[in-house]
Copies of this chain bind each other. A is one copy, B any other.
């Protein structure tokens, strides 16, 4: 699982949207995903290929469908690269505080 592939895959807003869709609901086909994005099917396919190469998405064929699943492991590895056990609590608390402030604003 190459680092670079993961970060490059995450760099595009369309690909992040695809991950959002899969986070919301797994096992989507290409056509399903395509219908949620303003883009050609081919465009979506190329994005999914990159996400799969990065290990962020895994796929399985069902007849003529190819279903897509989100794999959160590479995301966690990003986290662990720059947030160690000691700072994790502090950062998480800070983020939660920030979220609380934003929702009550």
Q: Which residues of B contact A92 (CB under 8 A)?
A: 76
B77 and A78: CB pair below 8 A? Answer: no
Judged by DSSP, the binding face of A is: helix
The copy count of this chain in the complex is 2
Contact B7 A82 (CB under 8 A): no
The answer to whether B13 and A10 touch across the interface, beta carbons within 8 angstroms, is no
What are 29 contact pairs spanning A and B, CB under 8 A? A3-B13, A3-B16, A4-B13, A7-B10, A7-B11, A7-B12, A7-B16, A8-B11, A10-B11, A20-B82, A23-B81, A23-B82, A70-B82, A72-B82, A72-B83, A72-B91, A73-B91, A73-B95, A73-B98, A75-B78, A75-B82, A75-B83, A76-B79, A76-B92, A76-B94, A76-B95, A77-B95, A78-B79, A80-B95
